[in-house]
């Protein structure tokens, strides 16, 4: 992200030369301090007004955050999420024009364990973040990524808000679960001595070393940076959503900006997440049910944010990530970022065009009926996109894999549809459809146990698992939920012949013959 962020250097008006006399396009009085885009020069004050207005307008337009609602801001320490934090502070301030009325809290997840950082280094980072958060006076939660290992399996099921307090029982369960873990919220009203005690409690030494090791073992089983980034993104989301639930928040605010989302959209296409583009890039992401993720920064470019942070001294921290100091071609995500950044130089409309493409997409319609609701991916919790017809990239890949394996013979088929075989493997079953489904899902077993993990995953998350040498170190909550879903689908299969379809037919019961 660094390249995008440093763009502002040449954009600030030089104090010398002719530009010194240029007036602000908006107020036409004050001297312009920056050029937002060619022909749009603004003074400091007007730029701030423009920036602040955009934030309020985004929230106002979407009308999704209610007064008094508890909103959890996910802050990574980077410029975009710190600008978001700054906007919330501004909006809640005494002299704010249209005051924001929700109750914010902040969460930071420390991923230092994946970068092989020492305990001291991680402590230092967390202390830095802690002092940044303390200045806001908002409750805050500084959580090491290791906490993901303690999540309950229920985090993988969206919580539907049909009943009065659906999250209640869940919340109790998780509260109980998390009691011993070093997750702390800091109430701004507690006195200083108490505060410092709490700060000490975020000491990563309290994280069992075994947990750090388990997480490192897990990631050492992932062969590619592409899959590592994807898995980390998944785990981080689970931890954020779970933290929001246990701490009583109902919205999660993410700091992704327009530039970031354009890169993400294109990278997601290359990762096979075409069906999920809308939820991943839209303002509102409802996939978790009770906790709705929103992206209020999505209309700002990285450049605007950098300019704002620079001019108004918004503090942010540089925190290295998995991608830091990697080559362009080290992962799909990294490659896409450098591609978009470079193309943006030649074609300045690149980011906005990709972003607008995303605006025109939707999530395929979802049925309300829970029994008939489409299955969700175990990892990313999006609707499974693998129940596809015979002519699809997904099926074509499966066929390729099967045909290249031992012992498969060429299929015999003619052009007449009635004599088609359903898949590449020899198929002697009547119900070719089901046989193929089974073929599709059972072809890869990993990690010693015969866990049927891939059938529970979307196309893209399957690709991530394919890049793993073993799944044995996946967190327990994921494995337990996978086992539960597998049992359930097995039962469903066993009883299928006794279930009646809507019009009263019994589909699979065959006549006495």
Partner 1 sequence: MPIQCSKCTEQRAVLKRPKTGQSLCKECFFIVFEEEIHHTIVSAQLFKPGETVAIGASGGKDSTVLAHVMKVLNERYKYGLNLMLLSVDEGITGYRDDSLETVKRNQEQYDLPLKIVSYEELYGWTMDAIVKQALDRGAKLLNVDKICTGHNADDLAETVLMNVLRGDIARLRRCTSISTSSGGEDVLPRCKPLKYAYEKEIVLYAYFKKLDYFSTECIYSPNAYRGHARAFLKDLESVRPSAIMAVLHSGENLSIKESVKMPVQGTCGRCGYISSQALCKACVLLEGLNRGLPKLGIGKHHRLHEKLLSQQPLSNAEERKLKAVDF
Can you tell me the distance from the alpha carbon of 9 to that of 15, in angstroms, rounded to the nearest whole number?
13
- Binding partner 1 by CB under 8 A: which of 3, 169, 205, 400? 400
Can you tell me the distance from the alpha carbon of 55 to that of 361, in angstroms, rounded to the nearest whole number?
23
- Binding partner 1 by CB under 8 A: which of 13, 385, 454, 481? 385
Residue 326 interacts with partner 1 (CB under 8 A): yes or no: no
- Alpha-carbon radius of gyration of the chain: 26
Residue 244 interacts with Zn ion (CB under 5 A): yes or no: no
CB of 92 to partner 1, least distance (A): 34
- Binding Zn ion by CB under 5 A: which of 22, 26, 70, 171? 26
By the 10 Å C-beta count (0-12 exposed, 13-18 middle, 19+ buried), 276 is classed as buried
Residue 401 interacts with partner 1 (CB under 8 A): yes or no: yes
Residue 363 interacts with Zn ion (CB under 5 A): yes or no: no
**β-pairing, 34-37 with 40-42?**
antiparallel
Residue 375 interacts with partner 1 (CB under 8 A): yes or no: no
Residue 266 interacts with partner 1 (CB under 8 A): yes or no: yes
CB of 230 to Zn ion, least distance (A): 9
3-state secondary structure of 40: strand
Can you tell me the distance from the alpha carbon of 225 to that of 330, in angstroms, rounded to the nearest whole number?
7
Q: Which long-range contacts (CB under 8 A, 24 or more apart) does 220-225 make?
A: 221/468, 221/469, 221/470, 221/471, 221/472, 221/473, 222/464, 222/467, 222/468, 223/467, 223/468, 223/469, 224/331, 224/467, 225/322, 225/323, 225/326, 225/330, 225/331, 225/334
Residue 86 or 226 with smaller CB distance to partner 1: 226
- Binding partner 1 by CB under 8 A: which of 53, 61, 356, 484? 356
CB of 160 to partner 1, least distance (A): 22
Which of these ranges, 26-34, 182-190, 307-315, 473-481, lies near Zn ion under the rule CB under 5 A?
Answer: 26-34
Dihedrals phi, psi of 473, to nearest 5 degrees: -95, 10
Q: Which two tokens stand for residue 184?
A: 């702390």
Residue 377 interacts with Zn ion (CB under 5 A): yes or no: yes
Cα distances (angstroms) measured from residue 167 to each of 162, 164, 180, 249, 494? 10, 9, 21, 11, 32
Select from partner 1, Zn ion, none the partner in contact with residue 313, using the beta carbon and a kind-dependent cut-off of 5 to 8 Å. Answer: none
Residue 465-484 contact track with partner 1, rule CB under 8 A, x = bound: -x------------------
Cα distances (angstroms) measured from residue 269 to each of 4, 186, 258, 377? 21, 40, 17, 17
Residue 146 or 385 with smaller CB distance to partner 1: 385
Q: Helices 258-270 & 332-346, crossing angle to 10 degrees?
A: 130
CB of 15 to Zn ion, least distance (A): 17
Residue 414-433 contact track with partner 1, rule CB under 8 A, x = bound: xxxx--xx--x---------
Residue 152 or 424 with smaller CB distance to partner 1: 424
Answer whether 77's CB lies under 8 Å from 319's CB.
yes
Residue 94 or 409 with smaller CB distance to Zn ion: 409
Residue 389 interacts with partner 1 (CB under 8 A): yes or no: yes
CB of 407 to Zn ion, least distance (A): 11
Q: Which residues on adjacent β-strands are paired with residue 104? A: 71
Q: Name which of 483, 38, 29 is nearest 303 in CA terms.
A: 38
Select from partner 1, Zn ion, none the partner in contact with residue 220, using the beta carbon and a kind-dependent cut-off of 5 to 8 Å. Answer: none
Cα distances (angstroms) measured from residue 250 to each of 102, 105, 107? 11, 11, 14
Residue 213-252 contact track with partner 1, rule CB under 8 A, x = bound: -----------x-x--------------------------
Residue 122 or 287 with smaller CB distance to partner 1: 287
Work out whether the CA dihedral 475, 480, 483, 488 comes out positive or negative: negative
The residues binding Zn ion (CB under 5 A) are 24, 26-27, 30, 43, 46, 377, 379-380, 458, 461
Binding site for partner 1 (CB under 8 A): 224, 226, 265-266, 268-275, 277-278, 329-332, 335-336, 339, 343, 350, 353-354, 356-357, 360-364, 385, 388-397, 399-401, 403-406, 408, 410-417, 420-421, 424, 459-460, 463, 466
């Amino acid at each position: 992200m660094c390249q995008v962020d440093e763009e502002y250097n040449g954009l600030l008006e030089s104090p010398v030369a002719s530009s010194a006399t240029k007036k602000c396009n908006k107020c036409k009085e004050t001297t312009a301090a920056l050029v937002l885009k060619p022909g749009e020069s603004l003074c400091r004050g007007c730029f701030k007004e423009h920036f602040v207005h955009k934030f309020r307008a985004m929230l106002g337009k979407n009308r999704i955050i209610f007064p008094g609602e508890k909103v959890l801001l996910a802050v990574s320490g980077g410029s975009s999420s710190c600008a978001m934090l700054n906007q919330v502070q501004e909006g809640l301030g005494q002299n704010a024009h249209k005051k924001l009325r929700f109750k914010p809290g902040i969460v930071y997840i420390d991923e230092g364990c994946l970068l092989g950082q020492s305990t001291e280094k991680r402590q230092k980072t967390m202390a830095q973040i802690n002092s940044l958060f303390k200045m806001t006076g908002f409750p805050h939660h500084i959580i090491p990524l290791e906490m993901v290992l303690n999540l309950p399996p229920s985090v993988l099921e969206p919580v539907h808000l049909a009943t009065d307090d659906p999250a209640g029982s869940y919340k109790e369960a998780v509260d109980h679960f998390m009691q011993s873990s070093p997750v702390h919220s800091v109430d701004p009203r507690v006195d200083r001595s108490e505060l410092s005690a709490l700060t000490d409690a975020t000491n990563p030494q309290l994280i069992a070393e075994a947990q750090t090791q388990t997480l490192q073992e897990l990631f050492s089983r992932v062969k590619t940076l592409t899959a590592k980034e994807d898995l980390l993104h998944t785990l981080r989301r689970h931890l954020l959503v779970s933290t929001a639930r246990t701490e009583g928040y109902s919205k999660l605010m993410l700091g992704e900006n327009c530039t970031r989302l354009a890169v993400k959209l294109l990278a997601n296409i290359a990762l096979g997440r075409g069906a999920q583009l809308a939820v991943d890039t839209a303002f509102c992401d409802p996939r978790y049910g009770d906790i709705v993720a929103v992206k209020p920064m999505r209309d700002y470019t990285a450049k605007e944010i950098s300019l704002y942070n620079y001019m108004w001294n918004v503090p942010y921290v540089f925190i290295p990530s998995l991608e830091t100091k990697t080559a362009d071609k080290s992962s799909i995500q990294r490659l896409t970022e450098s591609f978009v950044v470079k193309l943006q130089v030649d074609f300045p409309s690149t980011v906005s065009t990709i972003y607008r493409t995303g605006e025109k997409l939707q999530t395929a319609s979802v049925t309300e009926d829970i029994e008939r609701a489409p299955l969700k991916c175990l990892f990313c919790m999006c609707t499974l996109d693998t129940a596809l017809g015979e002519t699809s990239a997904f099926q074509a890949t499966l066929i390729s894999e099967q045909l290249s394996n031992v012992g498969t013979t060429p299929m015999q088929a003619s052009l007449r549809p009635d004599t088609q075989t359903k898949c590449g493997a020899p198929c002697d079953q009547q119900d070719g459809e089901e046989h193929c489904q089974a073929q599709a899902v059972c072809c890869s077993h990993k990690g010693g146990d015969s866990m049927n993990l891939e059938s529970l995953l979307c196309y893209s998350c399957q690709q991530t698992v394919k890049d793993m040498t073993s799944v044995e170190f996946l967190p327990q909550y994921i494995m337990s939920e996978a086992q539960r879903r597998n049992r359930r689908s097995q039962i469903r299969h066993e009883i299928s012949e006794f279930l009646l379809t809507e019009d009263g037919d019994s589909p699979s019961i065959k006549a006495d013959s």
